[in-house]
């Protein structure tokens, strides 16, 4: 992206003034100025000007996933770029909020700084916490108190509000597996939980039976979907009890599927055939071959390369590559 030249009507004085700041401050001031230029009604980018919180939100989620992908790949150069993209999303939302008179980027920074100090009294105050486990408990207590305070403020503003729930504050926009785990952890704090993974597995067996019955009775897709959801929720519960992350486990399974299916494609190509020309029995035989770790040579090299790259489904970004 070409570095913008400051102009008076776009707040151009911000960048020269930033030269007296520390390097981090200069960089942040420059990024804020770039964002202001992009959104300037008279001379900004038409695409950036017309965006709203709702249209930008999917890109924010996408950038967070790309950060996670860079971490999974161990690619520090990519991580630097992706963190920059994610930071730009924060700046974007803050700029739109400032234009609406709601809050500024400085308010965002102050809010998170105050929150970190408030939630770490053992670092910034006189409290004593002896272990990471105790800190986790204290952290959750602080969050619960903050939720209760926000609920009280909402009741005062709106005149009425329902009781504070332990499940309040778990974002609906989270990936379903992640949200399921968070909901389960919240409920477990008050003892609404099994103490044995075997009992969770028994529950999954029960839910599988209900799904089979619903399919046999040819019930509605909505009803069948509810039964399937119960099973997925149960699998997240098993992962949680085993100390595993369901989202990570499923991502790993996805990559394994990609490697094995590409092995099928490679082996069929060696025979001068395409996957659509093979029978299910042919492909199942090659699938079992992939499972047994028989592939060698170029096929094995390709599988290893695919695993290292951790290719996954990508969202198309209409904003062009330089965004």
Helix axis angle for 246-270 and 297-309, nearest 10°, is 150
The answer to whether position 321 is within a domain reads no
Question: Which one has a higher pLDDT value, 301 or 262?
Answer: 262
User: Residue 232's domain is classified under what CATH number?
Assistant: 1.10.287.1080
CB atoms within 10 A of CB 165: 11
Residue 99 and residue 13 share a domain: yes
- pLDDT band with cut points at 50, 70 and 90 for residue 286: very high
Nearest to 148 by CA among 172, 135, 166: 166
Domain hosting residue 213, numbered range: 176-241
Residue 28 and residue 53 share a domain: yes
Residue 114 predicted with pLDDT over 50: yes
- CA distances (Å), origin 244, targets 20, 42, 180: 48, 52, 13
Residue 128 and residue 199 share a domain: no
Query: pLDDT of 3-47, one tens digit each?
Result: 333 443 444 433 434 456 677 788 999 999 999 999 999 899 999
Query: pLDDT of 180-218, one tens digit each?
Result: 999 999 999 899 999 889 999 999 999 999 999 999 999
Residue 79 predicted with pLDDT over 90: yes
Query: Is 14 in contact with 36 (CB distance < 8 Å)?
Result: yes
Count of domains for the chain: 4
Nearest to 59 by CA among 286, 315, 292: 315
């Amino acid at each position: 992206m070409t570095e913008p030249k400051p102009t008076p009507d776009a707040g151009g004085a911000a960048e020269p003034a930033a030269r007296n700041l520390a390097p981090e401050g200069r960089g942040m001031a420059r990024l804020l100025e770039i964002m202001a230029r992009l959104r300037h009604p008279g001379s900004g980018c038409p695409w950036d000007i017309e965006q709203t919180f709702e249209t930008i939100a999917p890109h924010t989620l996408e950038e967070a996933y790309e950060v996670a992908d860079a971490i999974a790949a161990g690619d520090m150069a990519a991580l630097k770029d992706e963190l920059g993209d994610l930071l730009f999303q924060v700046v974007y939302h803050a700029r739109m909020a400032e234009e609406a008179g709601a809050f500024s980027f400085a308010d965002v920074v102050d809010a998170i700084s105050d929150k970190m100090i408030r939630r770490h009294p053992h670092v910034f105050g006189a409290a004593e916490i002896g272990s990471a486990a105790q800190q986790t408990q204290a952290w959750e207590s602080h969050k619960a108190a903050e939720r209760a305070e926000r609920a009280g403020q909402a009741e005062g503003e709106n005149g009425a509000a329902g009781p504070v729930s332990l499940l309040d504050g778990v974002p609906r926009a989270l990936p379903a597996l992640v949200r399921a785990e968070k909901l389960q952890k919240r409920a477990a704090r008050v003892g609404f939980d099994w103490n044995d993974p075997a009992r969770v597995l028994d529950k999954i067996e029960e839910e599988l039976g209900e799904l089979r019955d619903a399919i046999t009775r040819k019930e509605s897709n909505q009803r069948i979907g509810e039964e399937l959801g119960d099973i997925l929720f149960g699998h997240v519960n098993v992962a949680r009890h085993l100390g595993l992350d369901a989202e990570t486990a499923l991502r790993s399974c996805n990559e394994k599927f990609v490697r094995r299916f590409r092995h099928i494609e490679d082996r069929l190509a060696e025979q001068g055939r395409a996957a659509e020309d093979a029978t299910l029995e042919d492909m199942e035989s090659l699938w079992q071959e992939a499972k047994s770790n028989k592939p060698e040579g170029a096929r094995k090299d390709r599988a290893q390369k695919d695993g290292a790259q951790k290719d996954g489904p990508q969202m198309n970004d209409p904003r062009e590559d330089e965004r």
